[in-house]
Structure 1
Amino acid sequence: MRRLGVAVVVVGTGLGGYLLWLARHRAAWTVLLTNRIPAHHVHWGERGRADPDAVLYVALGDSAALGLGASRPERGYVGIVADEIARITGRRVRVRNLSIDGATCAVVIADELHRLPRNEVPLVCTLDVGANDIWSFEPERFRDELGRICAALPTGTVVADLPSFSPLPVGRRVAAANRIVHEVVAEHGLTLAPLHAETRKGGPIIAVRNAAGDLFHPNDRGHRVWAAAFLPAVRARLAAAAGEATGEVPPPS
């Protein structure tokens, strides 16, 4: 029994030490990523400059849309989507990235929607929001705010549902929020990007592998997964736009 007690103490001490290291590691990464935010805004500000020969892509959302967690802003999912638009259209892409770090639905309403271009219709528009609402989730407020956002978005906007938060224990709230997202997006005739389904593939181990050091934001691999959720709908949107331009009806996606 004495040996067993010693073993338990050793294991407990080792686990405690690991948890302390993990907390410090996450805190250091949180500071690192926070310090990168201004550079991300500078990058997207430059990508949003007027260019009469470019097609317009508008992105709204939170820190994921900024590309936080990726090694460089353009390696975030918005940058990957922009690259795909350029590949398909054969044209330069002007990116108006209106996203704000930490944005909730209320922040999108107050600080992003009014910056949507009024005199130029974007070829593609995407939105990710809700991940920061989950911590103080109120279903009715979330539905109301998301509905106000979707009502203001351009036709054909691609809206993501909430990602999987594995291994964080908020699954029930995420599921409730995603039911609302699916319903509201359908009510407004917008297109859903199945972000939750993409990010839950592989379970907790893959979730950790695809996360930056703060274990919250996606890293380069994680952003590629986020992009995979958006790209089918973006490609369909581009095909529809091309069909409208030529008077042809695109084949079903």
Structure 2
Amino acid sequence: MVGRAKRARKIAAAAAFGGGGAGALGLATWGLLATEARIARKVVGRPFEGAPDDTGTYGSGFGDTIELLILGDSTARGMGADDRAQTVGAIVASAVAALTSRPVRLTNVSAIGAESADLDRQVDVAQDEVAEPDVAIIMVGANDVTHRIDRSVSIRHLAMAVNRLRENGAEVVVGTCPDLGAVRPVPQPLRALMQRWSRDLAAAQTVAVVEQGGRTVSLGDLLGEEFHERPGVMFSKDQFHPSAAGYARAASAILPSVLDALGHHSIDTGRAPDERRGESVGPVAVAAVRAVADPGTEVSGTGDVGMRGRFAVLRRRHRHPVPGPTEAGTEPDDRGESTTN
């Protein structure tokens, strides 16, 4: 854990000062990886042509509309979901609307195939479309790993995106890079290397995001055990992107942090970290590494700075039951059913 914490701090520091953060691999190693990647492409199912468009208004109520932004890659876009109600954005928006009794306007500017460098453009689009966002969810990192992007470059772009969103008044919740070692169709040794790279990137993402005033939720191998036991349930037909059930699992991990960011009272409000649950307050790099190994864990800043850098609180969130998603443009009637506006 100490080694990964040092790497996370090093990558984040390199990103801040414009240096390099990824070690070089020999030509023989890259040749082996290229061969394994070709095998993986044959095993993994055919990609989808697109993803549902989940931008719209969810729920209803008497309060002001909550502006929710979604940025990132194909998982943020919902590739693998059958319809718009099954994406992470739609599920979170529907749940927030139900739990706050306020309508939620979701604006999804994510893109299939996006890397962290694409966040710059996505923030531009988001700022043009939403003047005063309340909260932004970012899900990014997998394509940076598979495309072998220098990790310090990835972190620099993520940190800039979080900073810009925060300066615009938005709370930011980042679902860190998933553990690509959980994708079973990818053969060894490529899968082991992808696991290490994705975990290192997730830890560095956490350090950088907390430094910029955001909070992270570890997605890790959130679907790994289920994929191994029930590959047809948590993953979609391409065996890489989550299924509707997989997106629901990811949304349930992110939802408590979104509610907390919005100031919505929950079971965790005002609760001190519980050591019996593995929760703690300490250096952000240490919290980042622990979070990588514990999917669903949130890391947020405390405002304190010590000898080993900024302090953060690591919390295992109680997961709210996720209300059934509603289609954009609908609202519940007195019987709890949906009616078209």
Question: In structure 2, how many angstroms separate the alpha carbons of the residues matched to 1:85 and 1:235?
Answer: 7
Higher strand residue share: 2
1:112 pairs, out of 115, 118, 122, with 122
Question: In structure 1, how many angstroms separate the alpha carbons of the residues matched to 2:44 and 2:66?
Answer: 41
CA-based RMSD of the aligned residues comes to 2.8
2:75 pairs, out of 59, 64, 70, with 64
Question: In structure 2, how many angstroms separate the alpha carbons of the residues matched to 1:181 and 1:207?
Answer: 28
Encode CA deviations 1:172-220: one digit per residue, 9 max, x unaligned: 1111111211111111121111211533444633566311111111101
Encode CA deviations 1:47-103: one digit per residue, 9 max, x unaligned: 49xxx9532111111111121111112211111100111012212211111111111
1:160 pairs, out of 162, 175, 178, with 175
Residue 138 of structure 1: aligned partner: 150
Encode CA deviations 1:101-137: one digit per residue, 9 max, x unaligned: 111011121x201022366322221100111111113
Higher helix residue share: 1
Verify the 8 A CA contact 1:157 1:190 in the aligned structure 2: yes
Change (3 A) 1:104 1:202: same
Residue 178 of structure 1: aligned partner: 202
Question: In structure 2, how many angstroms separate the alpha carbons of the residues matched to 1:194 and 1:143?
Answer: 16
Taking structure 2 as the reference length, the TM-score comes to 0.56
1:187 pairs, out of 198, 211, 224, with 211
Can you give the 5+ residue segments of structure 1 that lack an aligned partner in the other structure? 1-19, 244-249
Residue 338 of structure 2: aligned partner: none
1:102 pairs, out of 98, 108, 113, with 113
Change (3 A) 1:208 1:172: farther
Change (3 A) 1:92 1:25: same
The amino acid that maps onto 2:66 is: V
Verify the 8 A CA contact 1:126 1:158 in the aligned structure 2: yes
How many residues get paired? 213
Q: Secondary structure at the match of 2:174?
A: strand
Q: Secondary structure at the match of 2:143?
A: coil
Alpha-carbon distance, 1:148 to partner: 1.6
Q: Does 1:211 align with 2:235?
A: yes
Alpha-carbon distance, 1:241 to partner: 5.9
Percentage of pairs with the same residue = 23
Verify the 8 A CA contact 1:59 1:127 in the aligned structure 2: yes
Can you give the 5+ residue segments of structure 2 that lack an aligned partner in the other structure? 1-38, 272-316, 318-341
Q: How does 1:24-39 map to 2 (within 5 A)?
A: 26-27=45-46, 30=47, 33-34=48-49, 36-37=50-51
Change (3 A) 1:25 1:152: closer
Taking structure 1 as the reference length, the TM-score comes to 0.74
Look at both structures and tell me which one has the larger radius of gyration over its CA atoms: 1
